[in-house]
Amino acid sequence: MKLDDSLGFLLNKSAGEMKYALETALRPYDLTPGQWSVLARLLQQDGQTISDIGKSLYFDRPTMSGIIRRLVSKALLRKEVDINDRRITRVYITDGAKEIMKELPILAQGINKRALEGFSEKEANELKGYLRRVLKNMTT
């Protein structure tokens, strides 16, 4: 099999190019793609545990700890001990982060739009479905 026909090669190269585009777009905001994804998850559901966020983003514990620590130091997140179980720490997005996040989804949508240029809506939805299946196959 030629390397250019390898699914792993194509996925890795595509993901790398999209990540580079997002890194470039986020640079003026002093955020990384990983930090952005944590903020985006918390916009969907604030007050999650660090572990739950990590699982949903496929980040390991050390990666999550570093991202959370940096976002707290930038005053974009705050950590609170769960009132019902003091062993659990919950993470909340700050008002400052909410302001920044008003702009950032537009940047990410632009990158997705660029990646899907020339695809019909049906083809784009099929591709996402196929990629979800690949991800499920590789993570179960």
Mean pLDDT of 28-50: 96
The count of domains in the chain is: 1
In a domain, 83, yes or no: yes
> What pLDDT is recorded for position 4?
84
In a domain, 2, yes or no: no
Sheet-wide strand order for 89-93:
48-49, 89-93, 77-81
pLDDT in tens, 99-120: 999 989 899 999 999 999 999 9
- How far, in Å, CA of 49 to CA of 38, rounded? 11
In a domain, 97, yes or no: yes
pLDDT in tens, 51-86: 999 999 999 999 999 999 999 999 999 999 999 999
In a domain, 43, yes or no: yes
Range of the domain at 97: 7-139
pLDDT in tens, 18-30: 999 999 999 999 9
- How far, in Å, CA of 133 to CA of 28, rounded? 34
Of the pLDDT bands very low, low, confident and very high (cuts 50, 70, 90), residue 135 is very high
> What pLDDT is recorded for position 131?
95
What separation in angstroms does the CA of 20 have from each of 33, 40, 70? 9, 18, 20
> What pLDDT is recorded for position 20?
96
Read off the pTM.
0.87
Domain holding 40: CATH number? 1.10.10.10
In a domain, 1, yes or no: no
- Tell me if residue 83 falls in helix, strand or coil: coil
